[in-house]
Amino acid sequence: MKRFNIALIVVLAMLVSLVSISFAADKMLDTTISKISIQQDKNGNDYARIIIQEDRALNGIAYTTSVVVMCFGSTVEKAKTYSDGDAFKAIVSQNEYRGRLNYNVVSFIN
């Protein structure tokens, strides 16, 4: 009986984690690029790191913070056409990395 309860708890925990992953929201960004850099990962694949400024509020206090937008795979070629100060429109997925919000480009908007 104990083994069944433990197995049931493990299965429920896995289901809850999968459901929480599916709630990751997509968002449209319409902003200006502060800085962009094209780099290579350890496998020699290009990726783009775009830094933007985003306005936020916490407990009624408004502030501006830097946010990283990453481009991988097929989105890198389009990212290479941008430079610092350009207008930037894209649909992105929100992620959290080391406790900081960041975005991955899903599609560019022309």
18-45 pLDDT, tens per residue? 554 555 689 999 999 999 999 999 999 9
Task: Say what the pTM is.
Answer: 0.73
What residue ranges do the domains of the chain occupy? 25-108
DSSP assignment of 28-61: EEEEEEEEEEEEE-TTS-EEEEEEEEEEEEETTE
Does domain 25-108 fall into CATH 3.90.1170.50? no
Q: Read off the pLDDT band of 78 (50, 70, 90).
A: very high
Best CA proximity match to 103, nearest among 63, 61, 51: 51
